[in-house]
Amino acid sequence: MTFFRYLFTKAFLKQLLFAVLALVVLSFLILWWLRSTTNHSQKIEVPNLATMSLDKVEEQLEELDLRYEILDSANYNPDYPKYSVIEQIPKAGKFVKENRKIYLTLNPSDYRKIKVPNVLGKTGRQAQPTLLAMGFKIGKVSTRPHISDHVLELRYKGSKLEPGTEIPKTSEIDLIVGDGSQNRVNEASEENIEEIEEDGGN
């Protein structure tokens, strides 16, 4: 019996059929194993973690067999509690597999600190827009007898504030500005002297 004739015999066709069936069964078993080990059909809905503290986040994610990782702190948002979740990836409502890591962004404890610009020696009209543009607030503006109308001193929470000091953004800064009164006194004195000299000459 030649090889080509054997290919068409019942014995060969029977073995070929068994081989195909075995391959199909093996493929099915492998796919089933992969699905079971990778949790292919398991879906967990990501909870809304916004405004939660890390203690509550850890407790809730542990119940769902999920993990978390802190990415970074965002800019301070006064609408959220300090150190609470301000953003999360994946978003709430998304479906993930077991043991998936949720990435969190936290709200810092306060606004980031920035340096106070040097506005000493500038007029109040010049200093205030500069401070506002940096993100600070203008508090009480008081005057002090001085020859000029320039900013003489900065104060923060009742204490003297030196330019270059770092304080939280949106902090309120008080200004002490010269009232120019000494200059007016000097001008008045000069006028009186001129009048006296004119009277004396007459």
Q: What is the CATH number of the domain that holds 83?
A: 3.30.10.20
Do 76 and 93 reside in the same domain of the chain? yes
Q: Indicate the DSSP class of residue 61.
A: H
pLDDT at 31: 79
Q: Which residues of the chain have pLDDT under 70?
A: 1-8, 12, 34-42, 182-202
**Residue 32 domain flag:** no
pLDDT number for residue 20: 80
117 lies in the same domain as 180: yes
Q: What is the pLDDT of residue 22?
A: 82
One domain, residues 99 and 123: no
How does pLDDT run across 125-158, given as a tens digit for each residue?
Answer: 999 999 999 999 999 999 999 899 999 999 999 9
On whether both 180 and 118 belong to a single domain, the answer is yes
Domains identified in the chain, total number: 2
- Residue 140 sits in which domain range? 113-184
Q: What per-residue confidence (pLDDT) applies to 193?
A: 46
Distance, CA of 131 to CA of 124 (rounded, Å)? 11
- pLDDT at 40 (0 to 100): 52
- 168 located within any domain: yes
The structure's pTM equals: 0.55
pLDDT at residue 183, rounded to an integer: 60
Q: Rounded to whole angstroms, what are the CA distances from 13 to 9, 25, 93, 200?
A: 6, 18, 54, 142
Q: How far apart are CA 84 and CA 57, in angstroms?
A: 9
